[in-house]
Amino acid sequence: MTPLFRKKDKKTTILFATDMHGSEGVWRKFLNASSMLKANVAICGGDLTGKMIVPIIEKKDGKYAYYLMGKNHLIDSSRLEKAVKDVRGIGYYAYLTNEKEFEEMSKNRAKVDEVFSEVMNSTLKNWLDLIREKVPNETRVIVCPGNDDRFPVDDLIRDHPDVINAEGKVIDIDESHEMISTGWVNPSPWNTTREEDDEKLETRLEKYISQLKDTESAIFNFHAPPHQTKLDEAPLLDDDLNPVIQGGRVIMVPVGSKAVRKMIEKYQPFLGLHGHIHEASGSIKIGRTYCVNPGSEYAEGILRAFLIEFKGNKIIRLQRIEG
């Protein structure tokens, strides 16, 4: 005779990664790992898109010039494919152009923004198109745009048939667990797209959480890590945004969200998924809540993720993976 609680005791596997920042290699590894590890749900917690474009300029003599990692490069067409791959590998967008258009871009900031948006959107669509090729139908892929992702990204993700845009939406992870998500974070020195003070962020989080049926079994996928935990330590910056060094060591300070920590302490969800602070990978418990931050090494093409398996409200595997 099959026990009545059998469905609730079924194992659920989540692969959680975040902060890919335009690194196509990391995105491909994320999809491949989701398939290889047979994840029920693959979650990207934010900051999917890149930060800048690198123009690769075709010269009149048929060679190509570009500037990358502090160096000027001049190559012939036989090395063009590798150059594009190198640019994409560290999270930038390669943009093939000519001398006339590059001169226009140099003089017109609006033109640069226009080109960036076009390249960002087309690249992201190509990434999402890979899901059907790389991930089996049994695995759901969920993405929540992060603080560095521009707002047009929301519609692109929402309208794609192979991915779920999680921002502000309650998603059933399994029969027992709902997830609520946001890519909004507390203020940073970088003045990114989705930032607001902790008071406003708390109001947003309360509104989102109010949609849940059961907070104790819920998953909070909040891009900002909770304040004053090892998941939110970042270098202290001076007025010129350079790390402060004392005694030969970089001074680290907590920069996470007080609102996120307050919500976790108040509602004690089953699980907290966080990112945003690349240096602060790890896991920690706040009361009964397991919280994780995989960290990020997107510029090196390294995937950092957590593989999380659970039955009911019991975690049976919490493993940080890297590759």
Domain membership flag for residue 5:
no
Domain membership flag for residue 123:
yes
pTM above 0.85, yes or no: yes
Nearest to 238 by CA among 248, 251, 227: 251
pLDDT of residue 5: 42
**277 and 291 belong to one structural domain:** yes
231 pLDDT exceeds 90? yes
Domain membership flag for residue 4:
no
Domain membership flag for residue 101:
yes
**280 and 197 belong to one structural domain:** yes
Choosing from 87, 107, 127, the residue where a domain stops is 107
Domain membership flag for residue 292:
yes
Domain membership flag for residue 312:
yes
DSSP state of 78: G
pLDDT of residue 8: 52
Measured in residues, the chain has a length of: 323
**163 and 221 belong to one structural domain:** yes
**293 and 311 belong to one structural domain:** yes
Mean pLDDT throughout 130-149?
95
Choosing from 83, 107, 131, the residue where a domain stops is 107
**98 and 167 belong to one structural domain:** no
Choosing from 107, 127, 146, the residue where a domain stops is 107
185 pLDDT exceeds 90? yes
**27 and 133 belong to one structural domain:** yes
Structural domain of residue 75, as residue ranges?
53-107
**48 and 58 belong to one structural domain:** no
Mean pLDDT throughout 46-73?
94
Domain membership flag for residue 6:
no
* H helix runs in 14-57, sequence order: 24-36
**103 and 219 belong to one structural domain:** no
**126 and 274 belong to one structural domain:** yes
**126 and 238 belong to one structural domain:** yes
Exposed, middle or buried, 295 (CB in 10 Å: 0-12/13-18/19+)? buried
* CATH code of the domain containing 99: 3.30.720
* CATH code of the domain containing 135: 3.60.21.10
**pLDDT more than 70, % of the chain:** 97
Domain membership flag for residue 1:
no
4 pLDDT exceeds 50? no
**99 and 154 belong to one structural domain:** no
pLDDT of residue 229: 97
Number of domains the chain contains: 2
Q: Rounded to an integer, what is the distance from CA 77 to the centroid of its chain?
A: 34
**86 and 150 belong to one structural domain:** no
pLDDT tens digit string along 258-316?
A: 999 999 999 999 999 999 999 999 999 999 999 999 999 999 999 999 999 999 999 99
Mean pLDDT throughout 1-26?
78
